[in-house]
Amino acid sequence: KPATTSSTTAKTTTTTTKPTTTTTTTTTPTTTFDRAAWEESVKKPVAHCTLDNGMTDEARQVFLDKHNEYRQLVARGEAQNKTGLAPPAARMLKLRYDCDLEAHVMEHVAKCKGGHSPFDVLKGRGQNIWAITVPNLDKAEAAKRSVDDWYFELTKYGITADNKISIDNAAKTGHYSQVVWQKSNRLGCAAVSCPEQRRLYVGCEYWPGGNTLRHLIYDIGEPCKRDEDCKCSSCRCSTQLSMCINPN
């Protein structure tokens, strides 16, 4: 009997495994602006310098606080003009202290000569000068008295209804108008005792400087309610202070 040969063909199955791809998505957490904390942080800016020039941080703080106190009064429409209240300011900037400005004005008042620096020396900075015949007056007290005197030019002489600088009112209220010049946002001051002249001289410089003829001292209107009301890059509106804060 012929042999029977059985042939079995093995069936080969090929399995292809598709590689698993894992995609990781990184989500950046959203930072929520804490306006309440920010409002608290900008209430009282600190005036501190490491300059070895006889000035004290106490006096610096008085200069800064008095300026901002009066700027806030104006912003809220609570400043007493000669015949009523001065109009409110729509976007008054809060001042912060600048040690470079202090160094500039210290160089000037340390000459014990009084008067203002020439325009070409100021290079766009504003300047207020004050003197008293009490050479040993405490510098913090001198800071208070000088800023008070500058500001109260508003009550004594008044500002015209258009709230602009003219040759006439600059001669009478030019110190006041620089104290509350809306666009100034930095301040530096110095007080120097000059025994030989029997005087103590005070000077403050501002950046950017104000008192530009035929320009508004500040924009009249209700104080800012939103950041957009400030109309300056990176500024925020402090509704508690009724002022705009420029971090630059």
Check: CB of residue 77 under 8 Å from CB of residue 88: yes
Residues 6+ apart with CB under 8 A from 175: 128, 130, 149, 150, 151, 153
* pTM (2 d.p.): 0.86
Q: What is the pLDDT of residues 74-116, one digit of tens each?
A: 999 999 999 899 999 999 999 999 999 999 999 999 999 999 9
Q: What is the pLDDT of residues 121-176, one digit of tens each?
A: 999 999 999 999 999 999 999 999 999 999 999 999 999 889 999 988 899 999 99
Q: Which domains does the chain have, with CATH numbers?
A: 37-245 (3.40.33.10)
Distances (CA, A) of 112 to 183, 190, 191, 208, 234: 30, 12, 10, 25, 40
The number of CA neighbours under 13 Å toward the Cβ of 84 is 6
